C-alpha cells in the first residue's frame, strides 16, 4: 500500500508570514491524486487543495499553493499571508486510481499561527 | 459543496453492546465510502473502503467481524461496532466520494466520538 510521510509534527508561523509544510509519498503508480486537508479543533476535515499527478502545473487556491515534484514524490503546501484561522492540523493525503481508489493520510502537521 | 452527515456525533455505550454509526451523503451519490479511526492527536487510520453494493475491503489488522460495514445504497453507509470494549473508544470518521471521473476528493462527515464504558 502507498505510504504518506509528513516529517514535521509541528510548525509555527508569524501572522502574515509564509510557511511551507512538507509531504512525501511512496507509490509505484503513475496516476493518482494528492490532497491537503485541514482539521481545525472541531475535527471537521476541510479540503484545502488538490493536485492531479498527471498535471505538471502546481495547483493554487488563493493563499495556498503546492510544490509538486513527481519524480521526487514530494508534495509540499505553502501558505502565504498566514492568518490566525489557518491554525489547525494539516494532513497530506494520497488517493489511488487503482483498486479501491482508497485515500491514505500522513501523520499530520500541527500549525500554530502567532499574532 | 457536497455534504456528508455522520450520526451520532457522540455516543457512550456499555462494554459488550453494539453501536451503529451512520454516514449519509446528502446531495450526491457516494459510490465509495471510507471509514477511518483517529486516535487523539494522531492521523486518520483507514479501516475499510466500501463501494456501493459490494462487500467492504478491510485494511490489514482491522477485524471485519467486529467492525461491520454496510453500504447498501448510494447515500448511506453504516459502521457497526459489535461487542464493543473500552479499547474501541475512539473518534470514527467517514468520508464519501462520488466517483473518480467526476469528483476526486472525498467529503468528510463530522465524526463520531465513541466511548465504551
Sheet strands side by side (includes B67-73): B4-7, B19-25, B76-81, B67-73
Confidence of residue A102 (pLDDT cuts 50, 70, 90): confident
Structure confidence by residue, pLDDT tens digits, A7-55: 999 999 999 999 999 999 999 988 899 999 999 999 999 999 999 998 8
Cβ-defined contact of A107 to B43 (cutoff 8 Å): yes
Of residues B74 and A100, the one with the higher pLDDT is B74
Find the chain A residues whose C-beta atoms sit closer than 8 A to any C-beta of B: 33, 35, 37, 42-45, 47, 50, 52, 91, 95, 97, 100-108, 110
Cell representation of residue A88: 489547525
Structure confidence by residue, pLDDT tens digits, A53-80: 988 899 999 999 999 999 999 999 999 9
C-alpha closest to that of A45 among B76, B52, B23? B23
Amino acid at each position: 500500500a502507498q505510504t504518506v510521510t509528513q516529517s514535521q509534527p509541528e510548525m509555527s508561523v508569524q501572522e502574515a508570514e509564509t510557511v511551507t509544510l512538507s509531504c512525501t509519498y511512496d507509490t509505484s503508480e503513475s496516476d493518482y491524486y494528492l490532497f491537503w486537508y485541514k482539521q481545525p479543533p472541531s475535527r471537521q476535515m476541510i479540503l484545502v487543495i488538490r493536485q492531479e499527478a498527471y498535471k505538471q502545473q502546481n495547483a493554487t487556491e488563493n493563499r495556498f499553493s503546492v510544490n509538486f515534484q513527481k519524480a521526487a514524490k514530494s508534495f509540499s503546501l505553502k501558505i502565504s499571508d498566514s492568518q490566525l484561522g489557518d491554525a489547525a492540523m494539516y494532513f497530506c493525503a494520497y488517493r489511488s486510481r487503482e483498486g479501491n481508489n482508497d485515500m491514505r493520510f500522513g501523520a499530520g502537521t500541527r500549525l500554530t499561527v502567532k499574532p | 459543496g457536497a455534504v456528508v452527515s455522520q450520526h451520532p456525533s457522540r455516543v457512550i455505550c456499555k462494554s459488550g453492546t453494539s453501536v451503529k454509526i451512520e454516514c449519509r451523503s446528502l446531495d450526491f451519490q457516494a459510490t465509495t465510502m471510507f471509514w477511518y479511526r483517529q486516535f487523539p492527536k494522531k492521523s486518520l487510520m483507514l479501516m475499510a473502503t466500501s463501494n456501493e453494493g459490494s462487500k467492504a475491503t478491510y485494511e490489514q489488522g482491522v477485524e471485519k467481524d467486529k467492525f461491520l460495514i454496510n453500504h447498501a445504497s448510494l447515500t448511506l453507509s453504516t459502521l457497526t461496532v459489535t461487542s464493543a470494549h473500552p479499547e474501541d473508544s475512539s473518534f470514527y470518521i467517514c468520508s464519501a466520494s462520488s466517483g473518480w471521473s467526476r469528483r476526486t476528493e472525498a467529503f468528510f462527515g463530522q465524526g463520531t466520538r465513541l466511548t465504551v464504558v
